């Protein structure tokens, strides 16, 4: 087989075989196929797309390019969740202990964040002592014991995807639905999930700016998951404004604690119940979504969800007393209010711009090696649809510095106020099976 022939075949719109796709991915991973040929191939895929079969073969080949985590020692159906980006997305922090407390095994492999705020691990590390450097044996033991554990990402998970994603980034081939879908799904599948719930975001703060694209991406990922024998469902949710109130690591941990008590922001609460219900059903702990939702509401109210979070933190070295005393979390020395310049209804909060403001405060990483400040971030006091009086605070900034004029300007540029009343945006658009 010659790579040049396969590039031509794809360029001309023909379907590649399983063997051909495996040849491409293993050759690229080993370095036998150079970047320039893989770039040309990615561009051919960008224009010609891939059939349902090709997408499954591509995903499988990427899974096989590195380690595959074996979770068979863990009892029950392991369900993983993935959100496609977003700003201030605290759902994982809430969902993991929430569904664990009704017996769903959560064996989560997670990474550090790049961009807006940290990843799930960074957020959890705002709890004193908490760490994810545990052995595979310990990881499996903890999931069997507490139904929940988080381990750092294996260095050799889907190396084909790592290399390809970096190449796509510099060859204008990131926003190809088959390439995005196979990239995301290969990582979930290699991490050992039996079943997967996807939260595909749409809106200004998301990869997929419009609903039709989000639906297509969701359907593509669902078909890949089911095509490789992992039960997969997706929902499409709104990212036209940040989720919840908190954007920042420790601030989001505090918000997750509130949500586990049933006292979280309305949108975050609802999204967690929706995603959580799907996870519970896929794990076969409830017969349908209504039953699953009742179970989750119950553990929020009777304290079991919070207990599960405490047990999880303590088992991985964390100071679980932060759950009852959130003031023990890292706290920024300065809080600065951003007052509305005029009265009106909040018509828009550009999620991406709020994310950039959090970055400027030091909540996120600009590069892989940046050190993040776990205490800083922003709290949104007003969300889309809310009425605000001139002088009322739109946002509270939590900062390590007393004066942050550029951050304040950023926040003003994210908010658009209007005289006419505006409905709250739809949170969950649809489900994809
Ligand atoms: N996220 C991924 O992991 N891969 C993509 O291709 C796009 C977003
Ligand atoms: Ca949030």
* Confidence check: pLDDT of 399 > 80: yes
Residue 83 Cβ inside 6 Å of ligand 1? The answer reads no
Cβ-based neighbours of 154, under 8 Å, separated by 6 or more: 66, 67, 69, 109
Probe ligand 1: pick from 161, 162, 184, 191, max atoms within 8 Å of CB? 184
Distance CA(257)–CA(253), nearest Å, equals 6
User: Is the whole-model pTM more than 0.85?
Assistant: yes
Q: Which tokens sit at 109?
A: 């492999």
Among the bound ligands, the one closest to the CA of 181:
1
Q: Tell me, in angstroms, the distance from the centre of ligand 1 to residue 137's CA.
A: 29
The CA distances from residue 239 to 150, 201, 423, in Å, are: 26, 6, 15
Residue 111 Cβ inside 6 Å of ligand 1? The answer reads no
**Residue 44, pLDDT score:** 98
Active site residues: 82, 161, 168, 183, 187
Q: Kindly report the protein residue whose alpha carbon is nearest to atom 5 of ligand 1.
A: 180
Distance CA(419)–CA(334), nearest Å, equals 32
Residue 329 Cβ inside 6 Å of ligand 1? The answer reads no
pLDDT in tens, 286-314: 999 999 999 999 999 999 999 999 999 99
**Interior/surface letters 60-82, b for 16+ CB within 10 angstroms, e for the rest:** bbbbbbbeebebeebebbbbbbb
Cβ-based neighbours of 299, under 8 Å, separated by 6 or more: 98, 101, 102, 305, 308
**Residue 117, pLDDT score:** 75
Q: Tell me, in angstroms, the distance from the centre of ligand 2 to residue 249's CA.
A: 9
The phi, psi pair for 235, rounded to 5°, reads -125, 160
**Residue 85, pLDDT score:** 73
Q: Tell me, in angstroms, the distance from the centre of ligand 1 to residue 162's CA.
A: 10
**Residue 207, pLDDT score:** 79
Q: Kindly report the protein residue whose alpha carbon is nearest to atom 3 of ligand 1.
A: 184
Distance CA(261)–CA(279), nearest Å, equals 19
Residue 361 Cβ inside 6 Å of ligand 1? The answer reads no
pLDDT in tens, 375-398: 999 999 999 999 999 999 999 999
Mean predicted confidence (pLDDT) in 11-32: 98
Distance CA(226)–CA(209), nearest Å, equals 25
Atom of ligand 1 nearest to the CA of 187: 3
Over the chain, what is the mean pLDDT? 95
Residue 183 Cβ inside 6 Å of ligand 1? The answer reads yes
Distance CA(340)–CA(33), nearest Å, equals 56
186 pLDDT tier (thresholds 50, 70, 90): very high
Cβ-based neighbours of 129, under 8 Å, separated by 6 or more: 317, 318, 319
Q: Tell me, in angstroms, the distance from the centre of ligand 2 to residue 291's CA.
A: 27
Probe ligand 1: pick from 182, 183, 191, 198, max atoms within 8 Å of CB? 183
* Confidence check: pLDDT of 259 > 90: yes
* Confidence check: pLDDT of 164 > 90: yes
For residues 181 and 206, the model is more confident at: 181
**Residue 388, pLDDT score:** 98
pLDDT in tens, 78-115: 999 999 877 777 999 999 999 999 999 999 988 777 77
Mean predicted confidence (pLDDT) in 326-343: 97
* Confidence check: pLDDT of 31 > 80: yes
**Among 313, 318, 332, residue whose Cα is nearest residue 246:** 332
Q: Tell me, in angstroms, the distance from the centre of ligand 1 to residue 177's CA.
A: 10
Distance CA(105)–CA(239), nearest Å, equals 28
209 pLDDT tier (thresholds 50, 70, 90): confident
Atom of ligand 1 nearest to the CA of 184: 3
């Amino acid at each position: 087989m010659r790579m040049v022939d396969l590039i031509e075949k794809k360029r001309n719109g023909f379907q590649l075989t399983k063997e051909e796709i495996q040849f491409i991915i293993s050759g690229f991973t080993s370095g036998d196929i150079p970047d320039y040929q893989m770039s040309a191939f990615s561009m051919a895929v960008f224009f010609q797309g891939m059939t349902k079969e090709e997408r499954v073969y591509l995903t499988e080949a990427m899974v096989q390019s590195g380690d595959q985590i074996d979770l068979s020692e863990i009892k029950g159906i392991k369900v993983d969740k993935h959100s496609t980006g977003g700003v201030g997305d605290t759902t994982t922090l809430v969902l993991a202990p929430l569904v664990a407390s009704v017996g769903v095994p959560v064996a989560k492999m997670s990474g550090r964040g790049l961009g807006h705020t940290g990843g799930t691990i960074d957020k959890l590390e705002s709890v004193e002592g908490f760490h994810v450097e545990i052995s595979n044996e310990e990881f499996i033991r903890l999931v069997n014991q507490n139904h929940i554990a988080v381990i750092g990402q294996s260095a050799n998970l889907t190396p084909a995807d790592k290399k390809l994603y970096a190449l796509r980034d510099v060859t204008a081939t990131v926003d190809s639905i088959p390439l995005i879908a196979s990239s995301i799904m290969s990582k979930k599948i290699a991490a050992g999930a039996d079943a997967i719930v996807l939260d595909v975001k749409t809106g200004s703060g998301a990869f997929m700016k419009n609903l039709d694209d989000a639906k297509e991406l969701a359907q593509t990922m669902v078909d890949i998951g089911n095509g490789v024998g992992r039960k997969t469902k997706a929902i499409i949710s709104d990212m036209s404004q940040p989720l919840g109130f908190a954007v920042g690591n420790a601030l989001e941990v505090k918000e997750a604690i509130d949500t586990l008590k049933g006292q979280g922001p309305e949108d975050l609460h609802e999204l967690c119940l929706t995603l959580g219900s799907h996870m519970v059903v896929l794990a076969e702990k409830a017969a349908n979504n209504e039953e699953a939702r009742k179970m989750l509401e119950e553990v929020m109210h009777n304290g079991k969800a919070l207990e599960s979070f405490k047990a999880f933190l303590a088992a991985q070295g964390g100071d679980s007393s932060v759950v009852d005393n959130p003031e023990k979390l890292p706290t920024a020395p300065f809080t600065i209010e951003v007052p509305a310049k005029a009265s009106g209804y909040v018509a828009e909060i550009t999620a991406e711009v709020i994310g950039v403001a959090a970055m400027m405060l030091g909540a996120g990483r600009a590069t892989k090696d940046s050190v993040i400040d776990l205490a800083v971030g922003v709290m949104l006091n007003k969300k889309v649809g809310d009425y605000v009086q001139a002088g009322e605070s739109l946002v509270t900034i939590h900062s390590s510095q007393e004066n942050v004029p550029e951050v304040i300007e950023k926040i003003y540029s994210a908010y658009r106020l209007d005289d006419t009343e505006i409905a709250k945006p739809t949170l969950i658009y649809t489900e994809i099976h």
